[in-house]
Amino acid sequence: MALHILFVLFSHVLLTQVVEGNTDDFDCVDIYKQPAFQHPLLKHHKIQEIFYPDENLDRKGQYKTNYQSCPKGKVPILKQRNGTKSVHLDTVEYPGQHFATIETVLDGSIYRGAEANISLHSLTLQNNQFSKSQIWLENGPRNELNSIQVGWGVHPRLYGDTHTRFTIYWTADGYKNSGCYNIQCPGFVIVTRIPWIGIAFPRTSIYGDKKSFTFTPQVFQDGLSGNWGLKIFNEVIGYWPKELFTHLNDGASLIRFGGNTFMSPDGISPPMGNGHFPVIDFQKSSFFLHVKVRNSNYQLLDIEDRKTRRYSDSFQCYRLSYWGYAKSNGVSFSFGGPGGDCGT
């Protein structure tokens, strides 16, 4: 992997990242000229400091990076190459969706965040398919659903390639008119100078290999501002301002962890996770470790068995095995499958 910084006219800065022959370009733009501030509710928004709770409990993880960054006062924006500008396909009701997840039961509990250690994998997909491993935080009735989603995705229609990329998503009205992937629409405020949003992970896990590559996205509601912060690799990289939402301002009523796929027009669904059915051997499975939520008091806790349900809608294509709590891995589960003709 190599990362180069190129300087062009008018002091405009372009970061170019090369990963296994793939080139990603990031524009470095003034922090107050990023897309977020084009949102009508954020015209007068001021950048706010977001503090991650329990800083002493943070795990740096095993994924090492050496990315370079934009100059001070600027933030990186991924330049889309051939991907689609707007894709609203992240709802259970949309035909062609499949899921293998665990989620909290709707018992009136309120959550202020979620995080997990997620294994990274490379997959081969057709142009109109996607496959994601992520965390959802949601609140509100179906037609007004507020949702924040964070994880990795292989999404040729979005990115124009099949690389495994750090991917985020949000909606404030049940996927109707608001929200988008990454920063394709105004909303998410970037505060980091390192190019994370949409970046291709340079290393992924290999089936059967002793070394697994993982990352730990951490989503949390700031107790002072009410904004929803996003942290990876020991850095708060940005946040969703509270002004975007109508229900998540009160916290999340549901947290979900796991995999999500979308089929191609010929009815074939792509692989999920690492493309294999789950087994107890983490070297041969895609997995979530240290699955945690923040309760209404902002305390970070292992997710409780009695407050979760398992969901897999196509057993012939995707499965999930829940392992519960172990001292070494916290609460964990394995999931995934080869896809195929999985129904709609």
- On the CB side of 90, how many CA atoms lie within 13 Å of its CA? 36
Number of domains in the chain: 1
pLDDT on residue 95: 76
pLDDT tens-digit profile of 158-207? 999 999 999 999 999 999 999 999 999 999 999 999 999 999 999 999 99
pLDDT on residue 174: 93
**What is the four-CA torsion angle of 281, 333, 98, 185, rounded to 10 degrees?**
-110
pLDDT at 61 over 80: no
Q: What is the pTM of this model?
A: 0.90
pLDDT tens-digit profile of 210-261? 999 999 999 999 999 999 999 998 899 999 999 999 999 999 999 999 999 9
pLDDT on residue 11: 36
* Domain contains 337: yes
pLDDT at 8 over 50: no
pLDDT on residue 51: 76
Q: Read off the pLDDT band of 127 (50, 70, 90).
A: confident
List of residues 6+ apart from 308 with CB closer than 8 A? 102, 103, 104, 105, 322
Query: What does the pLDDT average to over 117-128?
Result: 95
Domain that residue 194 falls in: 97-341
pLDDT at 64 over 60: no
CATH of the domain at 244: 2.60.120.200
pLDDT tens-digit profile of 141-172? 999 999 999 999 999 999 999 999 999 999 99
* Domain contains 82: no
| Residue showing tokens 């994880």 | 151
* Domain contains 279: yes
pLDDT on residue 50: 78
Distance, CA of 95 to CA of 168 (rounded, Å)? 21
List of residues 6+ apart from 306 with CB closer than 8 A? none
* Domain contains 58: no
pLDDT on residue 19: 54
Contact 214/61 with Cβ under 8 angstroms?
A: yes
pLDDT on residue 315: 95
* Domain contains 84: no
The whole-chain average pLDDT of the chain stands at 88
Distance, CA of 273 to CA of 259 (rounded, Å)? 7
CA distances from 1 to 21, 171, 202, 317 (A): 9, 34, 7, 34
pLDDT at 63 over 60: no
**Residue 95 backbone dihedrals phi, psi, to 5 degrees:** -55, 140
* Domain contains 21: no
Q: Is 160 left (phi over 0), alpha (psi -120 to 50) or beta?
A: left
Distance, CA of 139 to CA of 125 (rounded, Å)? 31
Token pair listed for 247: 């229900």
Distance, CA of 121 to CA of 205 (rounded, Å)? 5
Distance, CA of 79 to CA of 45 (rounded, Å)? 24
Token pair listed for 4: 């180069």
pLDDT on residue 66: 58
Query: What does the pLDDT average to over 68-87?
Result: 79
pLDDT at 99 over 70: yes
pLDDT at 87 over 60: no
* Domain contains 107: yes
Total length of the chain: 344
Token pair listed for 147: 């949702």
pLDDT tens-digit profile of 259-316? 999 999 899 999 999 999 999 999 999 999 999 999 999 999 999 999 999 999 999 9
pLDDT on residue 338: 98
pLDDT on residue 68: 77
Distance, CA of 230 to CA of 203 (rounded, Å)? 22
pLDDT on residue 59: 47
pLDDT on residue 79: 83
pLDDT on residue 86: 52
pLDDT at 20 over 60: no
